[in-house]
Structure 1
Amino acid sequence: MNYKRFCLFFLLALLASCQDSNEKRLAENQKEAKRKEVIFTNISKNWSFYNEPINEVALETQSTWNEWRSFLAELGGKPQKTIGAFQKKSTTIVKKTYLLTTTIPPQFNNPAIKSRLSVLLTKIEMMNLFIHLDKIPDDKVVFLIGDINKELVSLQRQMDKIVEVDKIPKEEGESELIQMLKDTARAIPDTPNIPLKTSN
């Protein structure tokens, strides 16, 4: 008789613990769902990139630099349904940014533009990394969106500056001097190799 009571008590305890763990699991799932909803809402609300050229040069460059046009178009679209859509969009933006760094037009192929593109790519890759984490730090993603916009402005202003400098007429011999500075093999040595006369 004691054995039957013990078994009955054991079964009741087991059922009660299973019910408790189910309730805990449900509560945790609801809490996780709310957390993901808050993250999605925060990212969705702040997902806004400067996808329109800010000056004439950036606008005109769209017609000759296909990757620039494609990159700006990609920044313009905003995912709607899930955090997975934002993750996919972020990955695509990384690819488009990488293409920018490898297809720079000759006019803009200089250290100032390359460094700005490199910084832009780094920040976009960071955003992509954060948005793909299991626990997404939405505040960091939102912060990086603002930083990416600043880098976009900086890049377009530098493009404008390069075009403005190119419009300034060069003085006679200036282009040869610039070429000599770039091509150090042709440059005149700083000090001539003249043997020193020693007095006896």
Structure 2
Amino acid sequence: MKYKFAVFFSLVFLLFSCKNEDEKRIAENEKEIQRREIIFTNIQKGWVFYDTPVTEASENSVATWSEWRIFLAELAQKPKKTIGAFQQKSKSLTKKAMALNDNIPFEFSKPQIKSRISTLITKVQMLDLFLNLDTIPDKKVTQLVAEINLELVSLQRQMDKIVDKSNIPVEEGESDLLKMMDTTRAIPNTPIIDPNIPRVE
């Protein structure tokens, strides 16, 4: 009889402990859902890119530089509904940003532009990385969006400077002077060896 009571009480204890674990699990799941919703709303609020050209040079380059146009168009499309949509968008943005290195127009194929493009690519890759972590740091994501916007403005202003500089007329004789100052075209400064002087070998 004692054995039956022991089995009965252990079964009752087991049922109550399982019920408590289920309640804890349900409460944890609800907290996780609320945390994800907060992260989603923060990212959605902060996901604002400068997707329209801010300078005249950038606006003109949209017509000729297809990779730049595609990248800006990708920035203009804001994901909705889920975190997964933001993750897919960040992967797509990374691919489009990497493509900016291809077919850079000749007038913009300069170290100043290339360095800004590589900085922009790095920031977009970091955005993709943060969005694909298990626990997404929403503050860092929104901060990265702001940094990407700064890089976009910097790149477009540099484009404008290059266009403005190319529009300055060249004075007479300036091109010859620039050629003379070019160290890559200079005659190498090697000493002339007189064959009549004895040498020690």
Normalised to the residue count of structure 2, the TM-score between the two structures is: 0.90
Query: Which amino acid in 2 is paired with 1:187?
Result: A
Query: Which amino acid in 2 is paired with 1:147?
Result: E
Deviation per CA, 1:134-172, whole angstroms, max 9, x where unpaired?
Answer: 100000000000000000000000000001111112234
Alpha-carbon offset, residue 193 of structure 1: 2.3
Q: Which residue of 2 aligns with 1:37?
A: 37
CA RMSD of aligned residues (A): 2.0
Q: Which residue of 1 aligns with 2:191?
A: 193
Compare 175-184 and 16-25 and name the one that shifted more. 175-184
Q: Distance in 2 between matches of 1:181 and 1:133?
A: 52
Alpha-carbon offset, residue 101 of structure 1: 1.6
Q: Which residue of 1 aligns with 2:50?
A: 50
Q: Which runs of 5+ in 1 are unaligned?
A: none
Distance of aligned partners of 1:4 and 1:107 in 2 relative to their CA distance in 1, 3 Å threshold: same
Alpha-carbon offset, residue 187 of structure 1: 2.1
Which secondary structure does the structure 2 equivalent of 1:48 belong to?
A: coil
Q: Which residue of 2 aligns with 1:161?
A: 161
Contact 2:67–2:102 (CA under 8 A) maintained in structure 1: no
Q: Which residue of 1 aligns with 2:112?
A: 112
Q: Distance in 2 between matches of 1:23 and 1:67?
A: 53
Which residues in structure 2 correspond to 1:59-78 (within 5 Å)? 59-78=59-78
Q: Distance in 2 between matches of 1:136 and 1:90?
A: 13
Q: Distance in 1 between matches of 2:182 and 2:65?
A: 26
Q: Distance in 2 between matches of 1:9 and 1:181?
A: 97
Q: Distance in 2 between matches of 1:51 and 1:75?
A: 6
Query: Which amino acid in 2 is paired with 1:71?
Result: F
Q: Distance in 1 between matches of 2:85 and 2:153?
A: 26
Which residues in structure 2 correspond to 1:63-142 (within 5 Å)? 63-142=63-142
Which secondary structure does the structure 1 equivalent of 2:14 belong to?
A: helix
Which secondary structure does the structure 2 equivalent of 1:125 belong to?
A: helix
Which secondary structure does the structure 2 equivalent of 1:51 belong to?
A: coil
Distance of aligned partners of 1:34 and 1:61 in 2 relative to their CA distance in 1, 3 Å threshold: same
Q: Distance in 1 between matches of 2:183 and 2:193?
A: 27
- Percent pairwise identity: 55
Normalised to the residue count of structure 1, the TM-score between the two structures is: 0.91
Alpha-carbon offset, residue 29 of structure 1: 0.2
